[in-house]
Structure 1
Amino acid sequence: MSISQSGLMEEKEKVPAGYKKSSVGIIPKEWEVVKLDQIGSFLKGKGVPKSEIIDNGLPCLTYGELYTKHHDIIQKFNSYINTQSSKNSRGLHYGDILFAGSGETLKEIGKSVAFVNDHEAYAGGDIIILRQVKNNPHFLGYFLNHQIVNRQKYRLGQGHSVVHIYASGLKDLKIPLPPLPQQQKIAEILSTWDRAIEHTQGIIDQLKVRNKGLAQQLLTGKKRLKGFEGEWNESTLDSIAQRVTRKNEELDDTVVTISAQRGLVLQEDFFKKRVASETLSNYYLIHKGEFAYNKSYSKGYPMGAFKRLDKFDKAVVTTLYICFKLRTNVNSDYMTYCFEAGLMIPGLMRIAQEGGRAHGLLNIGIQDFLNLKLNLPNLEEQEKITKVLGSAYQEQKSFEIKLATLKDQKKGLMQQLLTGKMRVKTDLQGDN
């Protein structure tokens, strides 16, 4: 080994003052590394079958909800059981840490949440419970989803189509554990961000309801803006749009697909791989501002989604999509709001039949599609409505940006605080 290589290794192994090497990396000197079975005992959730879940009663948690409804700390319950069902279920205690025992991928296996309430509640099957009382459950809730622990969980995952993790493996997970006053301080800091995230999400949810109602009122003429009156005109899609069947003769390589939530996005970003055929000449080439309609179900779009190409000057789409461009007698942003508000759904339901060759694909004839009808105001009123809705949705967007910032800040804080890189001041200890 050369002198330079030796010096590099020594530099990598250098431990800052106030820290020490451990089996899980460099940690503050006053922290200790423990196995989970040293801080509590493991139990198995039981009961809570879906057939027994009701709208009101005793709160309960299913392992599926652990993935979809809860993050780090259980804030509120979404499901309930009656007293009779609770007799066959596992009751929770304050401070319990709940792990998902099953998952579809190694990445999600063993996700955990902390129960920090004193009220009666229950955990269903496929949930593993760590019962502990001496450590701060908020801290453990945050830490047990950290990458230091997740890397160990991945190695424990067993199975292929469904991945399982067991208490026999979880008990040997190693975690760096700070003294209790530091646990409490770290939990307080992260809880502050959680409260801000929850508050901001609540505002977004309220704005979504408001904006949805406002769009329905304005886009159907039930509510008119000041200065506008008179009847709207019934128009067919054919009268305001022209079908696009432009073949990709120039062999453009920007292949996009419709994402219900994100619009027309690169196929690689949506599927994590390219699924289009190598020969792209038979695909449709659409230009910026033109629309594509996907004739299949997706979340929030029961009769398929209309999306406008906004992110690229040109892009290539499958010929399964119906593509079109708007004529000059209609406002493009206004029509985008109409599509997102679901105003085409009633007409699509009348003409659509589910295809037999692909699940969820709708058989919609081109002429029937172009004959779809909707009531439209004149261009001036369209533009005014667009301006009002644009302001409303911009307010929602500003809070969504704030929410994303708060989540990024929390993620950064977790990385610093849960590894001890950022030290906290407690009543018993100053900053190091």
Structure 2
Amino acid sequence: MVPNGWERKPLEKVAEIKTGVAKGKKGLKDPIDVPYLRVANVQDGHIDLSEVKTIQIERHQLERYSLQVGDVLMTEGGDFDKLGRGDVWQGQIAPCLNQNHVFAVRPNKQVLLPYFLAALSGSSYGKTYFLSCAKRSTNLASINSTQLKEFPVLLPPLPEQRKIAKILSTWDKAISTTEKLIETSKQQKKALMQQLLTGKKRLVNPETGKAFEGEWEETTVGAVASLTAGGTPSTKHAEYWGGNIPWMNSGEINLKQIYSVEGRITALGLSKSSTKEIPQNSVLIALAGQGKTRGTVAINRIPLCTNQSIAAIMPDKEKLCADFLYFNLDSRYKELRSMSTGDGGRGGLNLSILKAVKLLTPKLNEQQKIASVLTAADKEIEVLETKLAHFKHEKKALMQQLLTGKRRVKVDEMEVA
């Protein structure tokens, strides 16, 4: 049902759909290099201009293919969740073209506002349509210009479109501001780690009210901690699985702070395999794993067992603070990966390598103070990320109501006029 006072029309009736320029054309006459937008530039709700490449076209075609302010850019394909994603072009670069895998939709602004169309296409309503007619393969989907032209656009009166777009833009600003705060906080934490974990910046000792003093000691992980690797109970024995003992696989190390894991093994599974019980607040490192997993560091906040692709480092509590070690090794991800044996993606770390990793450590009370400061920085980032998730959830719910007319907005008489 179309809401009272609204219309529904195919996109081609209320907008011009312009396809982009294909790469690799040869024999061009009077060619010129022009910036152009690829699929990677067109994100869901924003245009990423961090890397803009150029393409050659014939000079006389420049006006025909150039983007105009107010064009709505949409991708023809990609991952399921990226289908039809896009945003409004604001003329950030002029001239600028779009690749043939990116559609430029030019709305008739007498009946359809660009920001309303961008919101509608990116909403559940739009994505449901695009997925219903998309050509699918493993994890990928694509639409063609014919399907895009048939997209059934819901058309409230212009003042209502304007009001809806204004409401959603307020949420977009809140989301954008929070994302920038998160990025700033992460950069600040990174700089803080570089200073605190190397002794370039000394914190105030709460016992003396003065900055910590004294030389830091150079040691190795193996000299101040014990290490062990995990194991996996045989999956051929059902009685080894489904018990009460948490068991962690290497993929879960990306959680960083481990408060819960999916796997469970029985006491029999523990006794019949090489896995071991790891006390809480041990530092975990992925010895192997696909992609970027190898070298990733986490800390377990619960006792658990792990598979054989994870090493556990259990600090000597009189010499080494577990959280200090966690932050130290977490800041050295690239260094740890470079220590891997083997070649390419098949390389791995082992206990001997980890035992030899060098550490520069202050006295225990300074380690604890450094860890508490960095933990506070993590908490700040966590609060912002929770806030961001809330904003995105609220905006998504609001979009579903406003863009389909389930919830109507009040429009002032002056706006109608």
Alignment match, 2:320: 330
Give the distance between the partners of 2:346 and 2:172, measured in 1 at CA: 41
Give the distance between the partners of 1:266 and 1:41, measured in 2 at CA: 52
Instruction: Note the 1:333-344 alignment, pairs <5 A.
Output: 333-342=323-332
Give the distance between the partners of 2:287 and 2:137, measured in 1 at CA: 32
Alignment match, 2:223: 239
Q: Is the 8 A contact 2:77 2:143 kept in 1?
A: yes
Which of residues 85, 107, 115 in structure 2 aligns to 1:111?
85
Gap regions ≥5 residues in structure 1: 1-21, 50-56
Deviation at 1:225, TM superposition (A): 2.0
Quickly say closer, same or farther: Cα 1:229–1:266, change in 2 above 3 A.
closer
1:340-396 CA-to-partner distances (Å, cap 9, x unmatched) read 211x754663x42234xxx52324342232122111111011111122223333333
Quickly say closer, same or farther: Cα 1:283–1:128, change in 2 above 3 A.
farther
Give the distance between the partners of 1:244 and 1:83, measured in 2 at CA: 54
Instruction: Note the 1:278-297 alignment, pairs <5 A.
Output: 281-282=272-273, 284-285=275-276, 286-296=278-288
Q: Is the 8 A contact 1:95 1:133 kept in 2?
A: no
Quickly say closer, same or farther: Cα 1:256–1:427, change in 2 above 3 A.
same
1:37-96 CA-to-partner distances (Å, cap 9, x unmatched) read 1111222111478xxxxxxx9653211232xxx22354x622334595695773212222
- The one-letter code of the counterpart of 2:306 is V
- The one-letter code of the counterpart of 2:356 is N
Give the distance between the partners of 1:35 and 1:96, measured in 2 at CA: 17
- The one-letter code of the counterpart of 2:326 is T
1:180-205 CA-to-partner distances (Å, cap 9, x unmatched) read 11000000011011112112221221
Which of residues 298, 318, 322 in structure 1 aligns to 2:307?
318
Alignment match, 2:237: none
Alignment match, 2:368: 383
Alignment match, 1:17: none
Give the distance between the partners of 2:91 and 2:183, measured in 1 at CA: 25
- The one-letter code of the counterpart of 2:324 is Y
Q: Is the 8 A contact 1:296 1:304 kept in 2?
A: yes
Alignment match, 1:39: 14
Deviation at 1:419, TM superposition (A): 1.8
Alignment match, 2:72: 97
- The one-letter code of the counterpart of 1:71 is D
Tell which deviates more after alignment, 124-133 or 30-39.
124-133
What is the DSSP-based 3-state SS (H/G/I as helix, E as strand, rest coil) of the residue aligned with 2:5? Answer: coil
Which of residues 39, 52, 63 in structure 2 aligns to 1:80?
52
Q: Is the 8 A contact 1:260 1:300 kept in 2?
A: no
Deviation at 1:299, TM superposition (A): 7.2
Alignment match, 1:150: 127
Which of residues 302, 306, 310 in structure 1 aligns to 2:297?
306
Q: Is the 8 A contact 2:286 2:296 kept in 1?
A: yes
Quickly say closer, same or farther: Cα 1:429–1:173, change in 2 above 3 A.
farther
What is the DSSP-based 3-state SS (H/G/I as helix, E as strand, rest coil) of the residue aligned with 1:354? Answer: coil
Give the distance between the partners of 1:347 and 1:114, measured in 2 at CA: 42
Quickly say closer, same or farther: Cα 1:390–1:237, change in 2 above 3 A.
same
Q: Is the 8 A contact 1:100 1:128 kept in 2?
A: yes
- The one-letter code of the counterpart of 2:365 is E
What is the DSSP-based 3-state SS (H/G/I as helix, E as strand, rest coil) of the residue aligned with 1:244? Answer: strand
Quickly say closer, same or farther: Cα 1:400–1:86, change in 2 above 3 A.
farther
What is the DSSP-based 3-state SS (H/G/I as helix, E as strand, rest coil) of the residue aligned with 2:199? Answer: coil
Q: Tell me whether 1:169 sits opposite 2:147 in the alignment.
A: yes
Give RMSD over aligned pairs: 3.2
Quickly say closer, same or farther: Cα 1:266–1:103, change in 2 above 3 A.
farther
Q: Is the 8 A contact 1:59 1:81 kept in 2?
A: yes
Which of residues 255, 271, 295 in structure 2 aligns to 1:262?
255
Which of residues 164, 173, 186 in structure 2 aligns to 1:208?
186
Q: Tell me whether 1:394 sits opposite 2:379 in the alignment.
A: yes
Q: Tell me whether 1:219 sits opposite 2:219 in the alignment.
A: no
What is the DSSP-based 3-state SS (H/G/I as helix, E as strand, rest coil) of the residue aligned with 2:122? Answer: coil
Question: TM-score normalized by structure 2?
Answer: 0.79
Report the identity percentage: 27
Q: Is the 8 A contact 2:217 2:360 kept in 1?
A: yes
Give the distance between the partners of 2:120 and 2:322, measured in 1 at CA: 48
Deviation at 1:410, TM superposition (A): 1.4
Give the distance between the partners of 1:367 and 1:119, measured in 2 at CA: 53
Give the distance between the partners of 1:217 and 1:411, measured in 2 at CA: 40
- The one-letter code of the counterpart of 2:255 is R
Which of residues 371, 390, 397 in structure 2 aligns to 1:405?
390
Give the distance between the partners of 1:298 and 1:193, measured in 2 at CA: 37
1:305-342 CA-to-partner distances (Å, cap 9, x unmatched) read 121122xx344432122223222121111111112211
Quickly say closer, same or farther: Cα 1:246–1:388, change in 2 above 3 A.
closer
Alignment match, 1:229: 213
Gap regions ≥5 residues in structure 2: 25-32, 205-210, 234-239
Give the distance between the partners of 2:369 and 2:292, measured in 1 at CA: 27
Question: TM-score normalized by structure 1?
Answer: 0.77
Q: Tell me whether 1:420 sits opposite 2:388 in the alignment.
A: no
Deviation at 1:424, TM superposition (A): 1.0
State how many pairs are aligned.
378
Give the distance between the partners of 2:143 and 2:274, measured in 1 at CA: 45
Give the distance between the partners of 1:410 and 1:159, measured in 2 at CA: 28
Q: Is the 8 A contact 1:43 1:130 kept in 2?
A: yes
Deviation at 1:208, TM superposition (A): 1.3
Q: Tell me whether 1:372 sits opposite 2:363 in the alignment.
A: no
1:156-214 CA-to-partner distances (Å, cap 9, x unmatched) read 22142453210111211213211111000000011011112112221221221111011
Give the distance between the partners of 1:388 and 1:164, measured in 2 at CA: 47
Q: Tell me whether 1:71 sits opposite 2:44 in the alignment.
A: yes
What is the DSSP-based 3-state SS (H/G/I as helix, E as strand, rest coil) of the residue aligned with 2:200? Answer: coil
